[in-house]
């Protein structure tokens, strides 16, 4: 028997399993936020999610303090925290206004914005195939929104902007990931977002009940678990293997919304989400084929 470690590319079943679990974790996040409702303002819920989640940063404190950030890196971390703060606030607001399925499907747009941002700001190529994939993703968004055929709510508009902000956050993460370790990147995101959300949360603060606080702590638990299992998925198999599994998240979101919250099953949302995810998967596959460094994070990475 060989003692050679099994490479990530040789464990696709494990990668698919952990990505499926990741989808369950993030749908659970959405379900808990939907359950809590809109009694608490969105900025406050977002702040509590990150503030209560700081307990999970304890293992990251030492590498964060030892990183010795330059002024440029500190500026990038601050900018990422600002973008992510706005995105998270809008995501929480959208979750209280529109269906879980709509939020999940529209969240798929964030990797598309990363692709566009990488071309505009990082000088990465945008070949015809990728342009076509981006156009297809926007078509998918239009299928979901159907402007002119139904009234768009503030929740839909909030989710559109949220995807842009989260895309910007992960574009900055791409820059920083080449200069700092994963614990440093993740840790400083949590710190800067907590600080960024604090003044907005205080401005609209409503005293939470003990039950509401417990539910939002559960959001932090599910979100942290989701990021951990996503890391396990990426370690076990290439993104090209795990990416299509993200589609299951939309299926679970639709099921969760229908069974527990009485949300109407909307075939247009499923169709639009499938189109967007197909576009993201194609871009990821092309980057793998060309053996270039991935510029588009997996769908499951663009979460709160």
- Per-residue confidence at 116, pLDDT binned at 50, 70, 90? confident
| 3-state DSSP assignment of residue 144 | helix
CA distances from 239 to 27, 133, 296, 301 (A): 20, 17, 10, 11
- Domain membership of residue 222 (yes or no) is yes
Domain residues for the domain of 251 are: 11-301
- Domain membership of residue 1 (yes or no) is no
Q: How many domains does the chain have?
A: 1
User: pLDDT > 70: what percent of the chain?
Assistant: 90
- Domain membership of residue 5 (yes or no) is no
- Domain membership of residue 4 (yes or no) is no
Cα distance between residue 231 and residue 181, in whole Å? 14
246, pLDDT greater than 80: no
pLDDT digit string, tens, across residues 132-148: 888 999 999 999 998 87
- Domain membership of residue 95 (yes or no) is yes
pLDDT at 8: 46
pLDDT at 3: 44
Enumerate the β-bridge partners of residue 132: none
- Domain membership of residue 2 (yes or no) is no
CA distances from 74 to 22, 188, 200, 226 (A): 30, 9, 22, 26
- Domain membership of residue 256 (yes or no) is yes
- Domain membership of residue 110 (yes or no) is yes
């Amino acid at each position: 028997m060989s003692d050679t470690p099994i490479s990530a590319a040789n464990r696709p079943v494990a990668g698919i399993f952990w990505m499926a679990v990741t989808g369950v974790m993030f749908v659970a996040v959405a379900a808990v936020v939907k359950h809590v409702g809109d009694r608490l303002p969105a900025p406050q819920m977002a702040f509590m999610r990150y503030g209560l989640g700081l307990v999970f940063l304890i293992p990251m404190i030492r590498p964060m303090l030892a990183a010795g950030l330059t002024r440029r890196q500190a500026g990038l971390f601050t900018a990422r925290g600002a973008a992510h703060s706005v995105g998270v606030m809008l995501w929480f607001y959208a979750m209280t206004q529109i269906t879980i399925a709509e939020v999940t499907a529209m969240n798929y747009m964030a990797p598309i914005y990363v692709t566009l941002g990488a071309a505009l700001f990082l000088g990465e190529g945008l070949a015809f195939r990728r342009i076509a994939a981006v156009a297809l993703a926007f078509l998918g968004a239009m299928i979901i929104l159907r402007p002119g055929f139904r009234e768009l709510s503030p929740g839909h508009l909030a989710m559109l902007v949220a995807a842009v902000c989260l895309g910007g956050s992960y574009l900055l993460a791409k820059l920083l990931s080449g200069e700092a370790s994963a614990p440093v990147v993740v840790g400083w995101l949590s710190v800067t977002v907590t600080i960024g959300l604090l003044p907005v949360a205080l401005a609209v603060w409503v005293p939470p009940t003990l039950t509401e606080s417990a539910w939002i702590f559960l959001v932090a638990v599910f979100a942290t678990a989701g990021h951990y299992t996503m890391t396990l998925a990426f370690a076990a198999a290439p993104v090209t293997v795990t990416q299509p599994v993200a589609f299951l998240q939309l299926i679970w979101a639709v099921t969760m919304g229908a069974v527990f919250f009485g949300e109407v099953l909307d075939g247009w949302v499923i169709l639009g989400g499938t189109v967007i995810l197909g576009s993201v998967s194609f871009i990821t596959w092309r980057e793998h084929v060309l053996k270039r460094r991935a510029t588009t994070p997996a769908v499951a990475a663009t979460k709160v």
